[in-house]
Amino acid sequence: MSLHLGDTAPDFTATTTDGDISFHDWKAGSWAVFFSHPADFTPVCTTELGRTAALGGEFQRRNTKPIALSVDPIEDHRGWAPDIGEVSGTELNFPIIADPDRSVAELYDMIHLGEGDTSTVRSVFIVDPDDKIRLTLTYPKSVGRNFDEILRVIDALQATDANPIATPADWTPGERVIVSPALSTDDAKQKLSNVEEVKPYLRFADAP
Ligand code: BEZ
């Protein structure tokens, strides 16, 4: 199934390290970072899930719940969890979905046969409180993801939802933003601070 930005993230039920969940009920009212990894007891995945655990406070501050998935069984997730805590210095503080029948992985198109086998690649779905897909990323099995970038995108999505702005290349929170093309410069000056017109189509303003 091909999932696009703006689509409703498909609901599913699954067994996780935190018990059985229904995805929409589990995330109710929150943002979610739903991400797959290829396999338990593997090096890159251990660093990725450890980094996610260490960033638990950052996700919480953004009203965002992380949740991971691999096609390994729940017993393997439970056996691997202590290693994640040991590596990151933070106990596993988010659920890992066990998907041995690959039903969720297939629903989210997380298995790419060109990547070698029928384990999941490194997919990321950022899903908003209305269950809409707001960002997708797909990384190969050999490359660990940048979780600071995932936090940065959540910051940008939340800022652009709340204000008539967009964010420029390499933006980080606090830096100047781009005035939404839908807003005239006069209107922008009423709504935003320190508006500068570099081109008629490129106006910067202070972060709201
Ligand atoms: C890893 O997590 O280290 C890994 C898993 C599958 C393929 C390549 C690397």
Ligand 1 centre distance from Cα of residue 41 (Å): 9
The residue extents of the domains of the chain are 13-147, 163-205
CA of 143 to the centre of ligand 1 (A): 8
* Model pLDDT, residue 1: 62
| Fold matches, 13-147 and 163-205 | no
Q: pLDDT by residue (tens digit) across 160-200? A: 999 999 999 999 999 999 999 999 999 999 999 999 999 99
CATH code of domain 13-147:
3.40.30.10
Taking CA atoms, 30 is separated from 44, 60, 77, 80, 142, in Å, by: 27, 10, 24, 27, 30
Long-range contacts of 145-149 (CB under 8 A, 24+ apart): 145/35, 145/48, 147/48, 147/51, 147/52, 147/55
- Whole-angstrom Cα distance, residue 106 to residue 47? 25
Residues classed as catalytic: 45
Each residue's pLDDT tens digit, 5-28? 999 999 999 999 999 999 999 999
- Per CATH, the architecture of 163-205 is what? 2-Layer Sandwich (3.30)
* 180 and 166 Cβ atoms separated by less than 8 Å: yes
pTM for this prediction = 0.97
Candidate from 72, 142, 143, 145 with most ligand 1 atoms within 8 A of CB, to mutate: 142
- In the structure, which protein residues have their CB atom closer than 6 angstroms to any atom of ligand 1? 38-39, 42-45, 141-142
